[in-house]
Amino acid sequence: MNSTRLEMDSIGSRPIDSHVYYGVQTQRALENFSQLGKPLSAFPRLLTAMAQIKIACAQANARTAELAPHLARAISQACEEIIQGQWHDQFPVSLLQGGAGTSTNMNVNEVVANRGLELLGHNKGEYQYLHPNDHVNCSQSTNDVYPTALRLALYYQSQTLTSALSELVQSFNNKSQAFCHINKVGRTQMQDAVPMTLGQEFAAFGQSLAQCKHRIQAASAHLLNVNLGGTAIGTGINASADFRAHALNNLSQITGLSLKHSHDLLQASWDTGDLVDISSTLKRLAINLSKIANDLRLLSSGPHCGFNEIHLPKMQPGSSIMPGKVNPVIPETINQIAFDVIGKDHAVCMAAEQAQLQLNAFEPLMAECLFTAMDRLTIGCQLLREKCIEQIEANTDQCEKNLRHSHALATLFNPLLGYKITSELINESNQLNVPFVELVQQRKLLSRVQMQGLLKST
C-alpha cells in the first residue's frame, strides 16, 4: 500500500498519497469533478501558460521583497520543469469544474510548492517552508491568473489552427490553378445558372477560408490584453502597483508576446467578450468548412447518377451490403466537426452571459469549448487537406458534358438575342431534347464568328 501524508485546508484534512505532488485542494477537486471530462494534463498549453505566470509573479514578488529570493528560485525552477513537460501527470483535475478555475490554480500551486520543497531539500507537504497559497500564489488570485493563462493558451493554440488553415488554403489554391481550364456549369438554388470554371469554384473555397483565417488572427490579438495583477475582482487587493507592472513585464519577456493590461481591470474580471469573439470566428470557420464539405459531396455525387464532376479519393468501403460503394467520409467528418463547433459556440455565449457582479464563474466551460473547438478544427483542416483536397481529381469530360447539355450557356446569348428569344429557344430545346447551342446553330441566329466568340468567353 502507498504511504500517505496528512494535509489540511480550511474545511478539514485528507490523507494524500505521499508520492504525488498535488495536495488537499486538488484531492477535493478530484472527488468532485473527476468524471466530468479531460484532465488538465490533456491541455499542455494551459499548463505552460500557468507555469509561465507563476514564474513571472515569483520574480516580481522577489523584486518587491514580498518573497525571499531562494523561494522565488525554487518556484521558478519547478515551473521550468513543468514547461519542459515534466510532472504533467500530476495535473489530474478536470478542466471543467466549479469554482471559476480555483481547482486549476490550486493544482498548479500545490505541484509547484511540493516540487519546490524537494528542490529546497524538504519533504512534500512541509508547507511551512514553501506554501501553495502564501508563496506560490503570492500577490495573485485565481481570478486574474486563470483568465490570463486561458488567454495565453488560446492565443498559442490559435497559431496552430491558423497554420493548418493556411496550408488548407494553399491546397485549394493549387487545385484552382490545376483546374483553371475546365469549363463547367455554375449553379444557384441547385439549378443550372451560368458557365464558370472548376478552378474558379476551388479558388472561392480557398478565399472564404483565407478570410476566416484573418478574422481568427484579428480576434486572437485581443487575447493579449490581460488582467494579471487585478487579483480578486480587479482592484488589485493584496498586490502592489509595482508588482502588477513587474509581473506583466516579466510575463511578456518569458512568452515573447506583447502583453498589455486591460484598460479596466474590474471590467476585465467579468467581461469575457474577447472569448465570445474568438468563438464566433471559430463558428464562422466551421460554417464555411461545412458548406465546402457539402459542395464536395454534391460535386462528387454519383458516380453515375449524380454530378460526378470531381473524384474524391477512395478512403474506405462505404457499405456492409452494397459492394463497390464508396462514401465521402472525409467531407462527412468535416460536417460533424462543424456541427460540434457551432454547438460549442452557443455554450460559450451562454457562459459569457452568466457573468454575475464582479466575476464570471463559468470560464472553465468556455475553456473546454474553445480548446476542443480549436483542436478539432485544426485536425479537420489537416484531414481535409491531406486525405481529400490534395487527392481530388477533376472529371473534365463530365464537366464539359454537363455544360453542353445545360441551359447555363444561354445567358451568354442574352446581349445578342435578347431575353425573349433566348427564353423561347430554351423552351424549344427542352421540347425537342436538343442542346441550346445546337438549336442556335441550326437556326443560324448568329454567325460562326459570333458563336465562337461567345463560347470562347466561357
* Catalytically active residues, by annotation: 319
Q: Which of 95, 138, 87, 139 is nearest to 114 (CA)?
A: 87
Q: Which of 127, 434, 146, 369 is nearest to 269 (CA)?
A: 146
Rama region for 87: left / alpha / beta (φ>0; ψ in -120 to 50; rest): left
Q: Which of 163, 145, 153, 151 is nearest to 45 (CA)?
A: 153
Torsion of CA 28, 34, 38, 39, to 10 degrees: 30
DSSP reduced 3-state for 36: coil
Buried b (16+ CB within 10 A) or exposed e, 267-290: ebbbbbebbbbbbebbbbbbbbbb
Pairing of strands 4-8, 225-226: unpaired
Strand partners, 191: 188
| CA gap 53, 50 in Å, rounded | 5
Residues 6+ apart with CB under 8 A from 222: 274, 277, 278
Q: Which of 19, 17, 10, 112 is nearest to 57 (CA)?
A: 112
Which cell is 240 given?
502592489
CA angle 90, 158, 233 (to 5 degrees): 65
